[in-house]
Each structure stands twice: as structure tokens, then as C-alpha cells.
A and B are shown apart, each in its own frame.
Chain A
Amino acid sequence: MATLRQHLLGMTALVGTGLAFAAPAQADLTVISFGGAVQQAQIKAYYEPFTAATGIKIIPGEYNGEQAKIKAMVDTKNVTWDVVEVETAELLRGCEEGLYEPLDFAKIGDKKDFLASAVTECGIGTFVWATILAYNADKLTTPPTSWADFWDVKKFPGKRSLRKGAKFTLEIALLADGVKPAEVYKVLATKEGVDRAFAKLDQIKGDIQWWQAGAQPPQMLASGDVIMSSAYNGRIATAQKEGRNLQIVWNGSVYDADHWTIPKGTPNAAEAYKFIQFASLPKTQGAYSQQIAYGPVNLKAIDGLDAKIAANLPTAPKNLENALANNGQFWVEYGEELEQRFNAWAAK
């Protein structure tokens, strides 16, 4: 009998250890962002200095912008993500659906210090990025200059790559079809416009290899799997720094801001505010832009930028010439149906 009891005791102890692991340690902050080079830059510019300054440990996580996990956490009141980086449309929709805490800007900073588009009810912008056309200059002797070239499979034979999803891809298709940036969302808001975008995509469907994570395009370009690709500008700039001969076409870039949000009901809201405040300072935002070619949203950080760095950001006047500002409200409105249609289209 004694043996059995000992065994039972041993087992209870083991299960107890398991339970102990189930409870997250206090004051660790889980910060979720888009991973890869973005995350590396955030670790250097934000996470490590923040931990050094406050002693709060940060657990970095990455995702590709899917809102489902956040919704499940908020709905079930089991929120384990404390700060999340989201794109504009997801921010606005999530705010409406009650996924994100409305922010108390008194705890973050003066609203006037930030780009107007960076300040919303539930989020504070953190950087401006752009989807651009990138190509491998070692493989292409004539450089492409526009999305129309991206569609020209005769002049540029070979695979190309686009982000797997409706957002940005449909805009790019319309830009390639000759729609002016200012008209893109007007056209896309009609059934005919959506059909037109899909018809345009149909022309090169067989030549497209889709990417999902921002780290993929530079790799696929470098390995020669594709000759050109849509990509996040910062990832290409990082690859350039690593010695890869990848080039950016700014003509027809689509830019957007990413935002910090706090999922509703996180037990670590106080620390989350501290982190967001820290990551919105001119100093840290400037440091971030030195790590990766994304533009700050804090106006003082923008003023303090090195001219050489500033020229490579999506916000440089030269780069904005023929650029399209992502319309978050449009994607709040049409995002779900277009994503669903896109997914069905891609799978056929």
C-alpha cells in the first residue's frame, strides 16, 4: 500500500508542477508583432531598452495579422496577449467589435506629437510601411518600373509573387490595369471593379507563387524562385544591408501605418501602457527607423531623422509621388467578403 501511496504522491507532485506552469509569471509582457526583420528591429529598438529601463520582461511573439486569436481571447476573457501590432483595417474593425481597449492618451503622450492618421480611438501608430514592387537585380537586366511590368510575362518571363490575401493584392491589380491611385478605392467599391481586379489577376494566376509572411519575398527573390514580388519595403532594405542585390520600385507603392493596441481585458494593461508610451518616444522611434526602413509616426522623431535614412522611408516625398494610401475604412467595410472571395478564387 505504501508503494502505491508514494506513487500517487509522486504523480500529484508532477501534475502540480504542470499546474504551476499553467499560470503565467507576473508582469511579463507578451508583445505580438509581424515577426522576422520587423521583430528583430523591435527587439533592438524597443524591447531590450524597455526591459533595461523598467525591469519588465518582454515575451516576443509573431503573427500574420489574423484577428481570430484575439477575438477568441477577448470573447472568452482569457487574454494572454498584452500588446499587439495591427494594420489599420483590423484596428478599426477590432475597435468596433470591442476587441481593443480604447486608449487613454494621457498615459501615452500628446496627440499633437503624432501624425494625424496615427491617432485613433483604440490604437497609436507605430510606423509607416509600404508594399512595394521588389526585384532581384542579378536576375533581371532590364528593371521593371511599374505594376504593369509585373504583369508583363513576355518582357519578364518567370514566376512572380504576391501576398496571399485580398488586401493590397486587389489594389495592385487595379494599379496594374491603369487605374489612378486616387481612383482605386472608388473602383474597388463596385462589383465591376472587384471583377476587374480578379480578371487582371487571372492573367498571371499561373505565374504567381503566393507569400504569407513578410520574410518570404526577400528569400524567394534571393534564391531565384521568383523574379519579382510585392514586398514590405523594410524587409527588402534589410536584405540589401545583408548584401543581396534586391531593388525597390516605389512607383505604385501602397502605404499604411501599423498600430499598437491593447486587447481588451489584458491583466497587464498598466505595463502595456508603459510599453506603448516607451515605444512612442522620439528617441526609440528614431532608433527603430535606424534598424529597419520604416517611418516613425512621432513628428519629433521624423524631424530628427538622418537624411540618408529618411530618403529610404515610405514617407519620403520622392517615394510618395505615385503612391496609394491604404484605405482602412474600405477594408473594414469590404474586407471579409473580399478575403473570402479571394481565398475561393486562389484555390480554384
Chain B
Amino acid sequence: MLQPYASPVERVWYYSLRVLCGLIIVFLVVPILVIVPLSFNADSILMYPMSGFSWRWYHEFFGSVTWTNALKNSLIISPLATLVAVVLGTLASIGLVRVNFPGKALLISVLISPMVVPVVIAGVAVYLFFAPLGLSGSYLGLILAHAMLGVPFVITTMTATLQQFDYNLVRASASLGADPIKTFFKVTLPLVAPGVISGALFAFATSFDEVVVTLFLASPEQRTLPRQMFSGIRENISPTIAAAATVLVAVATLLLLVLELVRRRSERLRGAPTPIAKSVRRSFLKKRIEA
């Protein structure tokens, strides 16, 4: 807050910081604000000014086999990849947090490395390796590869969450006679659920936004939404792209909202308010952006 007794220098500093940050925020948000309205444009060129309102491009999007197939593929692949990543990642995180052994830091670095290895390298490697196994051009291959890319996010969010977890609660539950399974579902899971959910969201977003590995691995049958957008941008920039983009923005907003709800819920459970970015800080390296 600007104090009433602030000096002129402080005033200039105060306002220029805010103006600068305003501009940066505009820079961050404007692309999304620009593309969404264009999807309702009546004109057939992806360009401003808009000539009128129309649902035409959504009809085109949902009426085209290519686009609906791509959407369907994304909705098959991403949830399954998320499931694999979350199950394997959560189990491993429990182990990693509870036990110390030599080389553990190295192991964690290795488990997280799919996030930093250039995606093209991961894509080519997986492609050359999966092809002889009959996994290239198959849903299973894509699901496994996407799960591999999602694992680091589950690991980072889960280990962070589990470190906050008070293990005495498990002991208390055991001493009161609950078996380990019951303890897990009644005590552990509710408390670590926010971590699981945010890890899952990150893994989902990673898969849902994945192009490069898909580029190498998928045959036309398995084309995902981002993969179809890649062709679209390169080959045929039509407003259908804007409609597809709007669908993706809607998904992103939904994910962000769920994450926010999860954060609020975990705040309530813990009884301590955490600023929004605290969970962000814990997960540290966030969603992998491949581009």
C-alpha cells in the first residue's frame, strides 16, 4: 500500500511498477482474449475486424470427423495416461518420502528428468524403441509415452504433499486398531488427496497439450486435438482452429478452477491459509511445456 507520507520518488516507483506489471499481464493474457472471439466470427478468414457473430466454426468443428475424432482421441488418451502416471507416481512418492538410501537424490533427478530432456529427443527415442514392439501407431504406445511425460509432475507435487503429511496420524489410526488398508483410505488418502489431484491435473494437462511425441508416435487414427491443431496451423489456418483453441482454453480454465478448489479445500483441512502460489511453490517445476 502506498503510504500517505510517501516521498515523490516512492510515488513514481509505486505507479511505474504497477503500470509495468499491467503491461506484462496484458502481454500474458491478450493472446487468449484475441483467439476466443475469432471463433465466433462469421467471416472465413482468421483475421480482425470481425464481420458478425456466428456458430459456424463450432458446427464445422463438431461436424467434422477429423476434429471430433481428434477430440475423442484426446479424451481417451489423456485420462488413461494420467491414471498410469498418478498410480505409479503416487506409490513411488510414498516410498521416496518414507525411506532414505544412498543415491536417492540421483534417483529423484532421474525420475524427474523426462521433464527437462528436450521433447524431440524423448519423442524420437520412444518412437524408435516402440516401433519394433508394435507400439507405434497404437493407443497403448501413446498412453505409455504420455504417462512417462506426466510422471515428473506427479512426483514433484506428491513428494511435496507427503512431506507436509503428519505420519503420526497413521500411527494413531493403527494404534486405534485400523488395518493399514483402512488407514490408507480413511486417513491418508483424504489428507493427501489435494496432492494427488493436482499431480493428476498437471499430468492431464501435459498429455492434453502434447504434440511432439504424438507427432512421431501417432498414426492418423490416434491423432489428438493438439496434433490436429499443429497440422491446422501449418497447413490450413481457418477459424475452425479458433474454435478448437476455444475448446482448449475452456479445458484449461476448468483445470485451473479445479486446482483452485482443491487448494481451498486443502487449506480448510489444514486450517492454515496458504496463498495460491504456495502449492505452486511446492510443486516447483510445474507443468512441462513443450514447444
Interface residues of A (CB under 8 A from B): 1, 3-4, 11, 14-15, 17-19, 21-24, 30, 32, 35-36, 59-62, 72-73, 75-78, 80-81, 212-213, 215-216, 219, 223
Contact = CB atoms under 8 A, between A and B. Distances in A.
A185 to B, nearest CB: 30
Nearest to A43: B65
Nearest to B136: A78
Contact of A36 (B83, B135, B236): B236
Contacts of B87: 11
A80 B140 contact: no
B250 interface: no
A75 B137 CA distance: 14
A3 B185 contact: yes
A75 B133 CA distance: 12
A14 B83 contact: yes
B221 interface: yes
Nearest to B143: A18
A18 B127 CA distance: 19
A110 B56 CA distance: 47
A328 to B, nearest CB: 25
A24 B128 contact: no
B138 interface: yes
A72 B221 contact: no
Nearest to A61: B220
A15 B87 CA distance: 12
A22 B140 contact: yes
B80 interface: yes
20 contacts: A15-B80, A17-B80, A18-B140, A21-B140, A22-B141, A23-B138, A24-B138, A30-B221, A62-B220, A73-B137, A75-B132, A76-B132, A76-B134, A76-B136, A78-B134, A78-B136, A81-B219, A213-B234, A213-B236, A219-B236
Given A3-B185, A36-B236, 20 more contacts: A11-B87, A15-B80, A17-B80, A18-B80, A21-B139, A30-B221, A35-B231, A35-B235, A62-B220, A72-B131, A75-B131, A75-B132, A76-B132, A76-B136, A78-B132, A80-B221, A81-B219, A212-B234, A219-B236, A219-B237
Interface string B31-58: 0000000000000010100000000000
A62 B221 contact: no
Interface residues of B, number: 29
B220 A21 contact: no
A213 B235 contact: yes
Contact of B136 (A3, A11, A18, A72): A72
Nearest to A60: B220
A21 B76 contact: yes
Contacts of B127: 72
Contact of A1 (B181, B220, B234, B237): B181
Contacts of A4: 181
A225 to B, nearest CB: 11
Interface of B: 45, 47, 76, 80, 83, 87, 127-128, 131-132, 134-141, 143, 181, 185, 219-221, 231, 234-237
A213 B136 CA distance: 24
Contacts of B128: 72
B219 A30 contact: yes
A275 to B, nearest CB: 15
Residue in A17, A59, A73, A76 with the greatest tally of chain B CB atoms within 10 Å = A76
Contacts of A3: 181, 185
Q: Is the interface of A mostly helix, strand, loop or mixed?
A: mixed
Contacts of B45: 223
Contacts of B143: 18
Contacts of A60: 220
A11 B80 CA distance: 10
A81 B47 CA distance: 37
Given A72-B128, A216-B235, A30 B220 contact: yes
A29 B150 CA distance: 33
Contacts of B220: 30, 32, 59-62
Given A1-B181, A21-B139, A78 B235 contact: no
A7 to B, nearest CB: 9
Nearest to B222: A21
B131 A73 contact: yes
Contact of B235 (A30, A72, A215): A215
A273 B89 CA distance: 47
B181 A80 contact: no
Nearest to A81: B219
A3 B138 CA distance: 32
Q: Give 3 closest A-B pairs by Cβ, nearest first.
A: A61-B220, A21-B139, A22-B140
A22 B235 contact: no
Given A18-B140, A213-B235, A215-B236, A76 B131 contact: yes
A278 to B, nearest CB: 20
B91 to A, nearest CB: 12
A80 B219 contact: yes
A163 B60 CA distance: 29
A24 B134 CA distance: 12
A127 B185 CA distance: 65
A41 to B, nearest CB: 15
Contacts of B83: 11, 14
Contact of B137 (A35, A78, A213): A78
Nearest to A80: B137
A131 to B, nearest CB: 17
A19 B137 contact: no
A216 B238 CA distance: 12
